[in-house]
Structure 1
Amino acid sequence: MSDVVNWGVLGYARIAKNSVIPAIERADNARVYGVASRNASELPSGEWQQSYSDYAALLADKAIDAVYIPLPNSLHKEWVIRALEAGKHVLCEKPIGLTADEAREMQQVADKHQRLLMEAFMYQYTDRVKVIKEAIDSGELGEIRHINVSFRFLLDRPNTIKMQPALGGGALYDVGCYPVNFIGMVTGRLPVVCKALCETEQGVDTNLSALLQYDDGLIANIHCGFNAFGRNYAEIIGTKGMLCIDNPFLDDAGTLYLHTAQGVRELPVSESDRYQAEIRHFSDAVLNKPSRLIPLAETVRNMQVLDMIREAL
């Protein structure tokens, strides 16, 4: 096998064009082999080995090893399964589907065809997350009793799929899945109680808060939205300390603040290349090299919590 993974991209979405395709090109173990778009005229000429006018044609190309799927949320399940059945490894944009049942079905197909499937939570590949985990593992926070996470931005683009309920739009699916994943990353388990409130527009949630409680009493709350000023923040509060985290889902350099009885200590964070790291790790796994992948069990748990929140509204 080659030391470079040939990637195919299903759809020329903003995140593919601006973030993931450039990241594949920066990774030393990956290359963009082909891109498929139903609007083939929008693809830049000469950029890749192949361009395809439909997704099935890309999946039929035996030269492609792995596929990245940035399609609307409602299309994830269909094209993840079709890609797996075509023998491709799959990196799918978050959320992996619309329900936990969809995630389980995709997991079963991946197992059947012995192909890798991973949900693209790129923020987990940053130095910021590494420092967060080190702070938790150090024991300086004590027993964690509360987690608070917000991720919102002001959506000012007209005619966006984020506002289309039939395509899986809404703030919870778009940005709320990040706080849910973050809390799951810290707790490693499902909540036992969920309460939620939301504001809606055009049939989708645009402002949502949820309260989660765990079997040991720990309480976590998430907030997400795209109808007001942006916020990207988290705090983890324990019996001995509190960790305050600006921009938990970005990869810029910064500082975390660890509050304890001894005072406030700054924890420096280095700049990362989260998309490139995600691609590099996934490509290493395709090449059967040691790699850190986000496990599908975490993905299914994430979707279970999203189901709980939607059912609580």
Structure 2
Amino acid sequence: MNRQIRWGILGYARIARLQLIPAILASGNGRIQALASRDESKLAEACAQVPELVSYTSYSELLADPQVDAVYIPLPNALHRQWVVAALDAGKHVLCEKPLALSAREAREMQAAAVSNERLLMEAIMYRYTDRTRQLRAVLDSGVLGEIRHVNASFRFLLDRPGTIKMEPELGGGALYDVGVYPVSLLGLITDGALPVRVHAEAQFDNGVDVNASVLLRYESGLLATLHCGFNAFGQMGAEIIGSKGRLMVPDPFLGEAGELTLVTAQGSRSIPVSATDRYTAQVRDFAAAVLQQRSPLIPLKESIRNLEVLDLIRASLQAH
């Protein structure tokens, strides 16, 4: 590929600084053109990280830059819809940090803006690019598990950073939006995008945001799934998929490190090796390639909207009791 897309970044968020900027620099088919932040000290830090970038103190100024082809948006969740639509209307392709929006309704508005402006919009949910996910899909596609009867998936960590936006309800904080999106996404892969017919959720709240949540979901096929997420207790990440003929155990399903899956059937137990994957670089490389080649990326918008429909059902269950 002999072309690169020129990236603009709205906000110097922690994930932009630590993950996405290094990923773009390593991608080979993209470079960082500009970054906008309302905090001049963050701008100075960003310029030290990427000396050649153009800096702006307003997001609108960056969106008006004709040298920017695509925009990465790591802003607080409650600002995603506003700035995604603004970027699309400015003629930019958009990679938006998960969750794409606060609701499926918001996501459909963003989808309409992408279609009308003929621009690519994708949710950044990097675990979809790992070898771990590829191996998991291969097991599912092989049929060795039989009919899937139960799924249990969890993602929790202990949040010990003071002043984080994850604890701000008006900014779309809470564990469901922050880490619950991952088990919900994984369940969508396992069920091939089916929506549950019944959802029951329970959560603990602190400062108006959910900090610990468990969800039971029932599907028309009879599948029962349990999802757990939180950031008020010791870390836990894992998934177990149980079918009529076998069981698959997936440690750290959302990480990119090397490891193994464990498949148990009537024939015994075997390990499936997993290679390390630079998931953030793979993500931005695929997005840029999709723009340059005018093709669909790995993660379609319909998948992100479906996940938000499930999150809507979970939130509705929490509000009902």
TM-score range for the pair, normalised by the shorter chain length: over 0.9
Task: String of CA shifts for 1:111-145, please: whole Å, max 9, x gaps.
Answer: 00010000111000000000000011111101111
SS at the partner of 1:230? Answer: strand
- Give the CA deviation at 1:207: 0.4
- Give the CA deviation at 1:289: 5.7
Residue 266 of structure 1 corresponds to which residue in structure 2? 271
1:295 aligns with 2:300: yes
Residue 117 of structure 2 corresponds to which residue in structure 1? 113
- Give the CA deviation at 1:276: 0.1
Of 239, 245, 250 in structure 2, the residue corresponding to residue 245 of structure 1 is 250
Contact 1:40 1:52 (C-alpha < 8 Å) held by counterparts = no
Residue 38 of structure 2 corresponds to which residue in structure 1? 38
Distance in 2 of aligned mates of 1:77 and 1:291: 21
SS at the partner of 2:232? Answer: coil
Distance in 2 of aligned mates of 1:131 and 1:284: 23
- Give the CA deviation at 1:199: 0.4
- Give the CA deviation at 1:189: 1.1
Q: Residue type matched to 1:27 in 2?
A: S
Residue 176 of structure 1 corresponds to which residue in structure 2? 180
Distance in 2 of aligned mates of 1:147 and 1:116: 32
Distance in 2 of aligned mates of 1:292 and 1:126: 15
Q: Residue type matched to 2:153 in 1?
A: V
Q: Residue type matched to 1:141 in 2?
A: L
Residue 3 of structure 1 corresponds to which residue in structure 2? 3
Residue 141 of structure 2 corresponds to which residue in structure 1? 137
SS at the partner of 1:26? Answer: helix
TM superposition score normalised by structure 1: 0.98
Superposition RMSD on alpha carbons, in Å? 1.2
Contact 1:118 1:293 (C-alpha < 8 Å) held by counterparts = no
Residue 283 of structure 1 corresponds to which residue in structure 2? 288
Q: Residue type matched to 2:207 in 1?
A: Q
Worse overlay, 224-233 or 39-48: 39-48
Distance in 2 of aligned mates of 1:68 and 1:26: 16
Distance in 2 of aligned mates of 1:300 and 1:15: 23
1:104 aligns with 2:124: no
Task: String of CA shifts for 1:226-249, please: whole Å, max 9, x gaps.
Answer: 000001100111000010000000
How many residue pairs get aligned? The number is 313
Distance in 2 of aligned mates of 1:263 and 1:255: 16
Of 230, 233, 242 in structure 2, the residue corresponding to residue 225 of structure 1 is 230
Of 69, 89, 94 in structure 1, the residue corresponding to residue 93 of structure 2 is 89
Identity among equivalent pairs (%) = 58
SS at the partner of 2:105? Answer: helix
SS at the partner of 1:198? Answer: strand
- Give the CA deviation at 1:221: 1.1
Worse overlay, 33-42 or 55-64: 33-42
SS at the partner of 1:191? Answer: coil
SS at the partner of 2:222? Answer: coil
- Give the CA deviation at 1:171: 0.3
Gaps spanning 5+ residues in structure 1: where? none
Distance in 2 of aligned mates of 1:149 and 1:300: 20
Q: What pairs up with 1:160-171 in 2 under 5 angstroms?
A: 160-171=164-175
Distance in 2 of aligned mates of 1:191 and 1:231: 24
Gaps spanning 5+ residues in structure 2: where? none
- Give the CA deviation at 1:42: 1.6
Of 203, 206, 212 in structure 2, the residue corresponding to residue 201 of structure 1 is 206
Distance in 1 of aligned mates of 2:294 and 2:105: 30
Q: What pairs up with 1:15-34 in 2 under 5 angstroms?
A: 15-34=15-34
- Give the CA deviation at 1:290: 5.5
Distance in 1 of aligned mates of 2:200 and 2:296: 37
Distance in 2 of aligned mates of 1:85 and 1:292: 20
Q: Residue type matched to 1:41 in 2?
A: S
- Give the CA deviation at 1:220: 0.9
SS at the partner of 1:137? Answer: helix
1:236 aligns with 2:222: no
Residue 154 of structure 2 corresponds to which residue in structure 1? 150
Task: String of CA shifts for 1:253-302, please: whole Å, max 9, x gaps.
Answer: 00100010111110000000000000000000110165642111111110
1:128 aligns with 2:128: no
Distance in 2 of aligned mates of 1:86 and 1:212: 40
